[in-house]
Chain A
Amino acid sequence: MDDIIASSTGGHGQPGDGTADQLRWFDITDTDRRRAEALAETAGDVADEIIEAFYAHLLSFEDARRHFRTDAQIERVKRAQQTYFRELLSAPLDAGYVENRRRIGRIHERAGVTPTLYVGAYAYYLHSLGHLVMDRRGQDPQAVPLLLSLIKIAHFDMAQALETYVEAREATIEQREREMSELPTPVLQLRDGLLLIPVVGTLDSYRARSLTVKLLEGIRDHRAKAVVLDITGVAAVDSAVANHLIQTMTAARLMGATSVLTGLSADVAQALVKIGVTGETLRTAGDLQHGIEIAERLLDG
């Protein structure tokens, strides 16, 4: 199990990379698929009964009711659900199936169907079907293996939907990060010849390039001689970030402006020096007030 945990964080070869791998992970064989198919007839017979009972159950919850505005809509969703469960029993479990399941998952996610609602509905269906199958075929020694196979497939199926929830969440986070990194960098003129640039967020090479451009434009437009770069809001300063800052400040110097770096905690500055980051760059670290004072002295001196 350790191995599986390690590899699932490594990100490669984890269950989930391909449909075949996934089926192996859920231990779903052709036998399971055949057994689930053998349930199709019984399931078809009782499908209406289950769906009706399920909606009665569902609509007794205020939160769930909010998803439905009209009876016609409820009918549509009921039919879609019939198809969904029919496919669960008999559709080939291939890449197309997975894609289709994920597409449905995305629709659910966008519609605000929570994982609890989704898994709950699934559990309701399996539970009801299980009971009805046992009522009808309780004497049949095959009944239990059939249901167990169905449960395996259902879990595989649920995994598809839950993956889409995670993906959607990640896409949102990425989107937000992108927006953050595209935040306009404000260039504030504190007095004649003195600029303040607060840098917020992460400083990857893309962002560093746009910071450099902004800084150079600011220097040109304001004929600045001194710039205070405040990195209090930069989340992780390490050698790569230091490299970007050094390059930005070197470019400023070539334009005739001296930069003062502020907002680096003394502990982190020390750590960077021990890492081997040298240059005057990091020696100017201090708080913003102090940085502005240094910059003013540069101007007046």
Chain B
Amino acid sequence: MTSIELPAEHIQRIERDGDVVAARQTGRRIAAEMGFGRPEQALIATAISELARNIVSYAERGSITFRAEDHAGRRGLRIVAEDRGPGIPDLAQAMSDGFSTGNSLGLGLPGTQRIMDEFDIRSIPGEGVTVTVAKWISR
């Protein structure tokens, strides 16, 4: 396996639509450099889009952090979406298919959980939301 030197961490701030696009492109580029296949790159890019757009739509601003990781010889990409917006009062409800306060499809969070290998969401109402997801390169 070739090892590419990636910066340990990359942070993209999220404030507007353009940042959603930028985060998505950055994530896709890092995933490609790490050796993810094209279908997986698309999954990662879509997950980033969902998380970033939720930040713009519901929290106004926040950030997305990308981290390349190595675990027991396996490479993965960890993505942390963080904001200090209003938070989510009922996580179970927000994680169910079709629930949306934004008159949308309500698929962003549950869908992201489906397409990533790891998914963790935390929220303290009034203090924001942190979603951490990861995808490992399949062998």
Tell me the A residues contacting B by CB distance below 8 Å: 5-6, 9-12, 173-174, 177, 202, 204, 235-240, 242-243, 246, 265, 267-268, 270-272, 274-277
Contacts and interface: CB of A to CB of B under 8 A. Distances in A.
A9 B115 contact: no
Nearest to A11: B61
A238 B46 CA distance: 6
B62 A267 contact: no
23 contacts: A9-B11, A9-B65, A10-B61, A11-B15, A202-B18, A204-B17, A236-B20, A236-B21, A238-B108, A239-B107, A240-B53, A240-B57, A243-B105, A265-B42, A267-B39, A267-B41, A270-B42, A271-B42, A271-B115, A274-B111, A275-B107, A276-B97, A276-B111
Contacts of A270: 39, 42
A268 B105 contact: no
B12 to A, nearest CB: 8
A275 B111 contact: yes
B13 interface: yes
Nearest to A265: B42
Contacts of A243: 104-105
Nearest to B110: A276
Interface residues of B, number: 39
Contact of B18 (A11, A173, A275): A173
A220 to B, nearest CB: 26
Q: 10 closest pairs, A vs B, by CB?
A: A275-B111, A267-B42, A238-B49, A9-B63, A271-B46, A235-B21, A239-B107, A11-B61, A276-B107, A271-B42
A274 B115 contact: yes
**Interface on chain B toward A: helix, strand, loop, or mixed SS?**
helix
Nearest to A269: B42
B50 A10 contact: no
Given A177-B17, A239-B50, A242-B105, A11 B84 contact: yes
A268 B24 CA distance: 12
Contacts of B107: 239, 275-277
B78 interface: no
A146 to B, nearest CB: 38
A170 to B, nearest CB: 9
B105 A272 contact: no
Nearest to B102: A240
A237 B17 CA distance: 12
A272 B46 contact: yes
A239 B110 CA distance: 11
A238 B51 CA distance: 10
Contacts of B21: 202, 235-236
Contacts of B45: 236, 268, 271
Contacts of A10: 61-63, 82-84, 128
